[in-house]
Structure 1
Amino acid sequence: MTDNMRGLDLIRDVNVSLTVELGRASMMLKDVLELGEDAIVPLDRQVDELLDVYVNGKAIAKGEVVTEGGRFALRIVEMAGEKRTEETA
């Protein structure tokens, strides 16, 4: 076993926060205060764009929403630093 693998074994049980960002919106506070049930807030992401995946605030991947067993799930499509090619897109 390499030293890197032994080092990773020491931290494998550390809890981290995984966040998936659907999109963002910039609004005036007065508009936020007027939000209510059935309000629609347009986001900056297109329907066919991949979602950003963060671990403790650091971008690590891009993915897409899928359903599994009646729940939302995430399919990782691209890891940070990797670029999709037309063949895999």
Structure 2
Amino acid sequence: MNMAAEGFGLIQDIDVRLTVELGRTQISLRDVLALGEDSVVTLDRLVDEPLDVMVNGKLIARGEVVAEGNRFGLRILELVGANGQPMPPRPAMAQPAAMPGLVPAE
């Protein structure tokens, strides 16, 4: 997400929590207490479904896991609007400088 638009200059250095959600499930506390090293928890998402990308708990995008060497990264597939629907593509802009911890899209 390129936030280089005018008006963001004052707030662009504020830290936010970026979360990637793999899936969810609802289980009883009894089942949580029974979890062990080899336990498997079934999630509500299929293998090929995009992951939800949230900033401070608000859905902003959907993406997929990528491997870069021995680290995981995230490729953004689509940005999401306030209504939860995909946003229309934005015009191409100059690529921002590489940021530590982020994997650029190919």
Q: What TM-score results when the alignment is normalised by the length of structure 1? A: 0.84
Gaps of 5+ in 2: 89-106
Question: CA–CA distance in 2 between the matches of 1:37 and 1:48?
Answer: 25
Sequence identity (%): 61
Question: CA–CA distance in 1 between the matches of 2:74 and 2:24?
Answer: 18
Q: Which has the higher contact order (CA 8 A, sep 6+)?
A: 1
Gaps of 5+ in 1: 85-89
1:70 Cα deviation from its structure 2 partner: 1.1
Question: CA–CA distance in 1 between the matches of 2:41 and 2:56?
Answer: 26
Q: What TM-score results when the alignment is normalised by the length of structure 2? A: 0.71
Aligned ranges 1:1-89 → 2 under 5 Å: 5=6, 7-81=7-81, 82=86
Match of 1:87 in 2: none
Match of 2:39, as an amino acid?
Answer: A
Match of 2:32, as an amino acid?
Answer: V
CA RMSD of aligned residues (A): 1.5
After superposition, give the CA deviation of every residue in 1:35-63 in whole Å (9 maximum; x if it has no partner): 01110000000000000000011000000
Bigger CA radius of gyration: 1
Pairs aligned (count): 80
